[in-house]
């Protein structure tokens, strides 16, 4: 393995991690409508929790679809 391949591998891994982090933060922000949990009402917290659960199921379905497609 040469230096270029190693650098590309590390760059791809880091980029993938950062993009996943950003997507997760954005989804949580959208699910909570941008409010911290302390400022939400009980109903808003429940709705945000339900939205996060739906996103989790969607991610699992996407992962399963990719695995089946291999």
Task: For residue 7, give Cα distances in angstroms to 4, 11, 18, 19, 20.
Answer: 5, 6, 16, 18, 20
Mean pLDDT by 10 residues, the chain (70 residues): 92 93 81 73 86 88 88
pTM of the entire predicted model? 0.53
Q: Is 55 helix (H, G, I), strand (E, B) or coil?
A: helix
Enter the tokens of residue 50. 């339900």
In sequence order, which ranges of 1-69 are alpha helices (DSSP H)?
A: 3-31, 42-69
């Amino acid at each position: 393995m040469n230096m270029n391949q190693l650098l590309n591998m590390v760059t791809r891994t880091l980029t993938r991690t950062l993009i996943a982090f950003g997507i997760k933060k954005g989804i949580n922000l959208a699910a909570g409508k941008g409010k911290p949990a302390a400022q939400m009402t009980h109903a808003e917290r429940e709705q945000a929790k339900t939205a996060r659960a739906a996103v989790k199921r969607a991610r699992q379905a996407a992962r399963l679809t990719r695995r089946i497609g291999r």
